[in-house]
Amino acid sequence: MRPVLLAGLVTALSAGAWPAMGQTFPIDLILPPVRPASQGFGPSLPHLPTASFHRAIPVVAETQPSRPVIPRPANAEQVLAVTAPLPPSRPATAEPHQTPEPRPVAVASRPIVAAATPVALRQPLPNGEVVARANAYFTNLTTLVADFTQVGGDGRRLGGTLYLQRPGRVRFEYDPPATLEVIADGRSVAVRDRKLATQDLYSISQTPLKFLLREQVNLGQDIRITGIANDGDGVRISLEDSSTLGGTSRIVLVFDSQVETLNQWRIVDAQGFQTVVMLGRSERGRRIDQDLFKIQYDILVGGNK
Protein backbone atom coordinates (compact mmCIF):
# COMPACT_ATOMS: atom_id res chain seq x y z
CA MET A 1 0.00 0.00 0.00
CA ARG A 2 1.14 3.49 -0.74
CA PRO A 3 2.58 5.30 2.29
CA VAL A 4 1.11 8.62 1.45
CA LEU A 5 -2.38 7.23 1.16
CA LEU A 6 -2.12 5.31 4.46
CA ALA A 7 -1.00 8.40 6.27
CA GLY A 8 -3.93 10.30 4.97
CA LEU A 9 -6.25 7.50 5.94
CA VAL A 10 -4.94 7.34 9.51
CA THR A 11 -5.39 11.03 9.85
CA ALA A 12 -8.94 10.84 8.58
CA LEU A 13 -9.87 7.94 10.94
CA SER A 14 -8.37 9.63 13.89
CA ALA A 15 -10.50 12.67 13.18
CA GLY A 16 -13.66 10.57 12.97
CA ALA A 17 -14.33 11.41 9.37
CA TRP A 18 -14.50 8.01 7.77
CA PRO A 19 -17.97 8.35 6.24
CA ALA A 20 -17.06 11.70 4.75
CA MET A 21 -13.83 10.41 3.30
CA GLY A 22 -15.65 7.57 1.69
CA GLN A 23 -17.71 10.00 -0.15
CA THR A 24 -14.82 12.22 -1.06
CA PHE A 25 -11.94 9.92 -1.97
CA PRO A 26 -12.36 7.59 -4.92
CA ILE A 27 -12.19 3.92 -4.05
CA ASP A 28 -9.20 3.21 -6.30
CA LEU A 29 -7.05 5.39 -4.09
CA ILE A 30 -7.66 2.99 -1.12
CA LEU A 31 -7.83 -0.43 -2.74
CA PRO A 32 -5.28 -1.56 -5.26
CA PRO A 33 -6.53 -2.37 -8.78
CA VAL A 34 -7.48 -5.95 -9.45
CA ARG A 35 -5.14 -7.59 -11.89
CA PRO A 36 -5.46 -11.00 -13.55
CA ALA A 37 -3.68 -13.82 -11.71
CA SER A 38 -1.70 -14.80 -14.70
CA GLN A 39 -0.29 -11.36 -15.12
CA GLY A 40 2.41 -9.84 -13.08
CA PHE A 41 4.51 -6.81 -13.00
CA GLY A 42 6.84 -6.95 -15.91
CA PRO A 43 8.88 -4.56 -17.93
CA SER A 44 6.15 -4.26 -20.54
CA LEU A 45 2.47 -4.87 -20.69
CA PRO A 46 0.83 -6.98 -23.38
CA HIS A 47 -1.32 -5.30 -25.95
CA LEU A 48 -4.90 -4.93 -24.98
CA PRO A 49 -7.58 -6.22 -27.37
CA THR A 50 -8.90 -3.47 -29.58
CA ALA A 51 -12.03 -5.06 -30.97
CA SER A 52 -14.22 -3.45 -28.33
CA PHE A 53 -12.96 0.07 -29.05
CA HIS A 54 -14.77 2.32 -31.49
CA ARG A 55 -11.59 3.64 -33.04
CA ALA A 56 -8.90 1.21 -33.94
CA ILE A 57 -5.33 2.24 -33.21
CA PRO A 58 -3.12 0.76 -35.88
CA VAL A 59 -0.22 -1.29 -34.60
CA VAL A 60 2.92 -0.60 -36.47
CA ALA A 61 4.95 -3.75 -36.89
CA GLU A 62 8.42 -3.88 -38.20
CA THR A 63 7.53 -6.64 -40.63
CA GLN A 64 4.48 -4.86 -42.08
CA PRO A 65 4.81 -2.09 -44.64
CA SER A 66 4.02 1.34 -43.38
CA ARG A 67 0.77 2.90 -44.46
CA PRO A 68 0.03 6.58 -44.67
CA VAL A 69 -1.82 7.81 -41.67
CA ILE A 70 -4.93 9.70 -42.71
CA PRO A 71 -6.00 12.14 -40.01
CA ARG A 72 -9.67 12.01 -39.29
CA PRO A 73 -11.66 15.03 -38.16
CA ALA A 74 -12.72 15.10 -34.55
CA ASN A 75 -15.99 16.95 -35.04
CA ALA A 76 -18.51 18.12 -37.62
CA GLU A 77 -16.73 21.42 -38.29
CA GLN A 78 -13.56 19.59 -39.21
CA VAL A 79 -15.53 17.17 -41.42
CA LEU A 80 -16.96 20.13 -43.29
CA ALA A 81 -13.54 21.72 -43.54
CA VAL A 82 -12.06 18.55 -45.05
CA THR A 83 -14.83 17.62 -47.45
CA ALA A 84 -15.94 21.10 -48.56
CA PRO A 85 -14.13 22.65 -51.52
CA LEU A 86 -11.63 25.34 -50.76
CA PRO A 87 -13.27 28.79 -50.75
CA PRO A 88 -12.00 31.44 -53.14
CA SER A 89 -9.29 33.72 -51.90
CA ARG A 90 -11.83 36.60 -51.89
CA PRO A 91 -15.61 36.48 -51.41
CA ALA A 92 -17.47 36.35 -54.69
CA THR A 93 -19.62 39.35 -53.77
CA ALA A 94 -16.84 41.41 -52.25
CA GLU A 95 -15.44 42.55 -55.58
CA PRO A 96 -17.38 42.18 -58.86
CA HIS A 97 -15.66 40.66 -61.79
CA GLN A 98 -14.34 43.27 -64.15
CA THR A 99 -13.51 42.75 -67.76
CA PRO A 100 -9.91 43.76 -68.32
CA GLU A 101 -9.70 47.01 -70.23
CA PRO A 102 -7.84 47.05 -73.53
CA ARG A 103 -4.44 48.56 -73.50
CA PRO A 104 -4.80 52.27 -74.38
CA VAL A 105 -1.60 52.45 -76.38
CA ALA A 106 -2.64 49.86 -78.95
CA VAL A 107 -6.18 51.25 -79.36
CA ALA A 108 -5.26 54.92 -79.47
CA SER A 109 -2.48 54.45 -82.00
CA ARG A 110 -4.82 53.30 -84.78
CA PRO A 111 -7.15 56.33 -85.11
CA ILE A 112 -4.21 58.70 -84.77
CA VAL A 113 -2.45 57.08 -87.70
CA ALA A 114 -5.64 56.94 -89.78
CA ALA A 115 -6.44 60.61 -89.11
CA ALA A 116 -2.93 61.78 -89.90
CA THR A 117 -3.18 60.88 -93.57
CA PRO A 118 -6.08 63.17 -94.63
CA VAL A 119 -4.74 66.01 -92.47
CA ALA A 120 -1.43 65.82 -94.31
CA LEU A 121 -3.25 65.99 -97.64
CA ARG A 122 -5.14 69.14 -96.58
CA GLN A 123 -2.16 71.22 -95.63
CA PRO A 124 -2.59 74.94 -96.48
CA LEU A 125 -1.57 75.71 -100.02
CA PRO A 126 1.28 78.13 -100.65
CA ASN A 127 0.19 81.58 -101.78
CA GLY A 128 1.63 81.08 -105.25
CA GLU A 129 -0.36 77.87 -105.66
CA VAL A 130 -3.53 79.59 -104.43
CA VAL A 131 -3.22 82.33 -107.07
CA ALA A 132 -2.41 79.83 -109.83
CA ARG A 133 -5.44 77.70 -108.99
CA ALA A 134 -7.76 80.71 -108.78
CA ASN A 135 -6.66 81.93 -112.22
CA ALA A 136 -7.09 78.43 -113.62
CA TYR A 137 -10.59 78.19 -112.13
CA PHE A 138 -11.84 81.29 -113.94
CA THR A 139 -9.95 80.59 -117.17
CA ASN A 140 -11.29 77.02 -117.46
CA LEU A 141 -14.85 77.96 -116.48
CA THR A 142 -17.19 77.95 -119.52
CA THR A 143 -20.75 78.04 -118.15
CA LEU A 144 -22.20 78.09 -114.65
CA VAL A 145 -25.80 78.06 -113.41
CA ALA A 146 -26.15 78.54 -109.67
CA ASP A 147 -28.58 79.67 -107.00
CA PHE A 148 -27.36 82.73 -105.16
CA THR A 149 -28.21 84.86 -102.14
CA GLN A 150 -27.26 88.53 -102.13
CA VAL A 151 -26.93 90.53 -98.91
CA GLY A 152 -26.73 94.29 -99.25
CA GLY A 153 -25.14 96.82 -96.96
CA ASP A 154 -28.53 97.47 -95.33
CA GLY A 155 -28.88 93.73 -94.50
CA ARG A 156 -31.60 93.10 -97.08
CA ARG A 157 -31.37 89.61 -98.59
CA LEU A 158 -32.32 88.83 -102.16
CA GLY A 159 -32.31 85.44 -103.84
CA GLY A 160 -32.17 84.42 -107.46
CA THR A 161 -30.39 82.50 -110.20
CA LEU A 162 -27.00 83.26 -111.72
CA TYR A 163 -26.35 82.47 -115.39
CA LEU A 164 -22.72 82.80 -116.45
CA GLN A 165 -21.17 82.12 -119.82
CA ARG A 166 -17.57 83.04 -120.22
CA PRO A 167 -16.25 85.21 -121.59
CA GLY A 168 -18.31 88.33 -121.06
CA ARG A 169 -21.90 87.10 -120.46
CA VAL A 170 -23.72 87.02 -117.14
CA ARG A 171 -27.26 87.44 -115.86
CA PHE A 172 -28.42 87.89 -112.27
CA GLU A 173 -32.14 87.10 -112.27
CA TYR A 174 -33.70 87.99 -108.91
CA ASP A 175 -36.66 86.16 -107.47
CA PRO A 176 -39.94 88.08 -106.92
CA PRO A 177 -40.82 90.42 -105.39
CA ALA A 178 -37.51 91.94 -106.50
CA THR A 179 -37.72 93.59 -109.94
CA LEU A 180 -33.98 93.96 -110.67
CA GLU A 181 -31.98 92.36 -113.45
CA VAL A 182 -28.23 92.65 -114.10
CA ILE A 183 -27.19 91.57 -117.58
CA ALA A 184 -23.83 91.59 -119.36
CA ASP A 185 -23.66 90.75 -123.06
CA GLY A 186 -19.89 90.90 -123.56
CA ARG A 187 -19.72 94.67 -124.20
CA SER A 188 -21.77 96.34 -121.50
CA VAL A 189 -23.44 95.71 -118.17
CA ALA A 190 -27.10 96.77 -117.85
CA VAL A 191 -28.85 97.25 -114.50
CA ARG A 192 -32.55 97.08 -115.23
CA ASP A 193 -35.52 97.68 -112.98
CA ARG A 194 -38.61 96.11 -114.48
CA LYS A 195 -41.00 97.86 -112.13
CA LEU A 196 -39.63 101.32 -112.81
CA ALA A 197 -38.84 100.51 -116.44
CA THR A 198 -35.34 101.92 -116.09
CA GLN A 199 -31.99 100.71 -117.33
CA ASP A 200 -28.46 101.90 -116.57
CA LEU A 201 -25.52 100.89 -118.77
CA TYR A 202 -21.86 100.51 -117.76
CA SER A 203 -18.73 99.30 -119.44
CA ILE A 204 -17.59 95.91 -118.29
CA SER A 205 -14.16 97.35 -117.52
CA GLN A 206 -15.77 99.80 -115.09
CA THR A 207 -17.48 97.14 -112.98
CA PRO A 208 -15.84 94.93 -110.37
CA LEU A 209 -17.26 91.86 -112.16
CA LYS A 210 -14.27 91.65 -114.50
CA PHE A 211 -12.89 88.69 -112.54
CA LEU A 212 -15.94 86.76 -113.75
CA LEU A 213 -16.11 88.02 -117.32
CA ARG A 214 -12.61 88.34 -118.76
CA GLU A 215 -11.45 85.66 -121.13
CA GLN A 216 -8.04 85.46 -119.47
CA VAL A 217 -8.03 86.12 -115.75
CA ASN A 218 -4.71 86.98 -114.20
CA LEU A 219 -5.13 87.90 -110.54
CA GLY A 220 -2.11 89.74 -109.30
CA GLN A 221 -1.54 91.59 -112.61
CA ASP A 222 -4.94 92.76 -113.81
CA ILE A 223 -6.12 93.19 -110.21
CA ARG A 224 -3.81 93.77 -107.27
CA ILE A 225 -3.77 91.11 -104.55
CA THR A 226 -3.69 92.58 -101.04
CA GLY A 227 -3.84 89.39 -99.00
CA ILE A 228 -4.43 85.64 -98.92
CA ALA A 229 -5.87 83.82 -95.91
CA ASN A 230 -6.31 80.08 -95.47
CA ASP A 231 -8.04 78.84 -92.31
CA GLY A 232 -8.29 75.17 -93.38
CA ASP A 233 -11.98 75.39 -94.34
CA GLY A 234 -11.63 77.97 -97.09
CA VAL A 235 -9.28 80.31 -98.89
CA ARG A 236 -9.89 84.07 -99.09
CA ILE A 237 -8.19 86.21 -101.69
CA SER A 238 -8.38 89.96 -101.11
CA LEU A 239 -8.14 92.21 -104.18
CA GLU A 240 -8.17 95.91 -105.04
CA ASP A 241 -9.44 97.23 -108.36
CA SER A 242 -8.69 100.90 -108.98
CA SER A 243 -10.28 100.98 -112.44
CA THR A 244 -13.89 100.68 -111.32
CA LEU A 245 -16.37 103.48 -111.71
CA GLY A 246 -16.13 106.04 -108.93
CA GLY A 247 -12.84 104.89 -107.47
CA THR A 248 -11.23 101.80 -105.98
CA SER A 249 -13.30 98.75 -105.11
CA ARG A 250 -12.21 96.14 -102.63
CA ILE A 251 -13.05 92.53 -103.51
CA VAL A 252 -12.76 89.32 -101.50
CA LEU A 253 -13.09 85.96 -103.26
CA VAL A 254 -13.86 82.94 -101.08
CA PHE A 255 -12.92 79.47 -102.40
CA ASP A 256 -12.93 76.04 -100.86
CA SER A 257 -9.71 74.83 -99.20
CA GLN A 258 -8.33 73.43 -102.47
CA VAL A 259 -9.39 76.45 -104.60
CA GLU A 260 -11.56 74.29 -106.81
CA THR A 261 -14.95 75.95 -106.23
CA LEU A 262 -15.92 79.61 -105.82
CA ASN A 263 -18.36 79.86 -102.90
CA GLN A 264 -18.89 83.62 -102.52
CA TRP A 265 -17.50 87.06 -103.09
CA ARG A 266 -17.75 90.39 -101.30
CA ILE A 267 -17.46 93.79 -102.98
CA VAL A 268 -17.07 97.12 -101.24
CA ASP A 269 -17.41 99.97 -103.74
CA ALA A 270 -15.73 103.37 -103.66
CA GLN A 271 -18.57 104.80 -101.58
CA GLY A 272 -18.19 102.02 -98.98
CA PHE A 273 -21.36 100.17 -99.92
CA GLN A 274 -20.88 96.42 -99.40
CA THR A 275 -22.53 93.61 -101.35
CA VAL A 276 -22.06 89.91 -100.55
CA VAL A 277 -23.05 87.19 -103.01
CA MET A 278 -23.16 83.58 -101.76
CA LEU A 279 -23.45 80.75 -104.26
CA GLY A 280 -25.54 77.70 -103.51
CA ARG A 281 -26.40 74.71 -105.69
CA SER A 282 -24.48 75.03 -108.94
CA GLU A 283 -24.03 73.24 -112.25
CA ARG A 284 -21.07 73.71 -114.56
CA GLY A 285 -20.97 73.11 -118.32
CA ARG A 286 -24.72 73.50 -118.81
CA ARG A 287 -26.08 74.88 -122.06
CA ILE A 288 -27.70 78.30 -121.55
CA ASP A 289 -30.28 80.13 -123.70
CA GLN A 290 -28.51 83.10 -125.32
CA ASP A 291 -31.60 85.31 -125.09
CA LEU A 292 -30.93 85.62 -121.37
CA PHE A 293 -27.92 87.83 -122.17
CA LYS A 294 -29.60 90.30 -124.51
CA ILE A 295 -29.64 93.97 -123.54
CA GLN A 296 -32.35 96.28 -124.91
CA TYR A 297 -30.29 99.21 -126.08
CA ASP A 298 -33.36 101.04 -127.36
CA ILE A 299 -34.30 101.78 -123.76
CA LEU A 300 -32.49 105.00 -122.79
CA VAL A 301 -30.66 105.32 -119.50
CA GLY A 302 -33.03 106.28 -116.68
CA GLY A 303 -36.05 104.94 -118.54
CA ASN A 304 -36.25 107.82 -121.02
CA LYS A 305 -37.14 106.79 -124.54
pLDDT value at position 35?
A: 53
Q: Do you find a cis peptide bond into 102, omega within 30 degrees of 0?
A: no
* C-alpha 189 chain-centroid distance: 53
pLDDT value at position 4?
A: 46
Residue of 26, 28, 25 lying closest to 12 (CA atoms): 25
Consecutive 10-residue averages of pLDDT for the chain (305 residues):
46 46 46 50 50 48 51 49 49 52 48 46 83 93 95 92 95 93 92 89 85 86 91 90 85 94 93 94 93 84 46
pLDDT value at position 304?
A: 41
What are the Cα distances from residue 20, in Å, to 14, 32, 101, 219, 277?
13, 20, 83, 139, 132
Classify burial at 268, counting beta carbons within 10 Å of its beta carbon; exposed 0-12, middle 13-18, buried 19 or more: middle
Q: What is the 3-state secondary structure (H, E, C) of the chain?
A: CCHHHHHHHHHHHHCCCHHHHHHHCCHHHCCCCCCCCCCCCCCCCCCCCCCCCCCCCCCCCCCCCCCCCCCCCCCHHHHHHHHCCCCCCCCCCCCCCCCCCCCHHHHHHHHHHHHHHHHHHCCCCCHHHHHHHHHHHHHHCCEEEEEEEEECCCCCEEEEEEEEECCCEEEEEECCCCCEEEEEECCEEEEEECCCCEEEEEEHHHCCCHHHHCCCCCECCCEEEEEEEECCCEEEEEEEECCCCCCCEEEEEEEECCCCCEEEEEEECCCCCEEEEEEEEEEECCCCCHHHHCCCCCCCHHHCC
pLDDT value at position 72?
A: 52
**pTM for this prediction:** 0.58
From CA 261, how far away is CA 255, in angstroms rounded?
Answer: 6
Residue of 231, 190, 188, 195 lying closest to 213 (CA atoms): 188
pLDDT value at position 122?
A: 64
Would you tell me how many other CB atoms lie within 10 Å of the CB of residue 251? 22
Report the relative pairing of strands 169-174 and 198-203 from DSSP bridges: unpaired
Ramachandran angles phi, psi of 213, nearest 5°: -105, -20
pLDDT value at position 184?
A: 95
pLDDT value at position 97?
A: 52
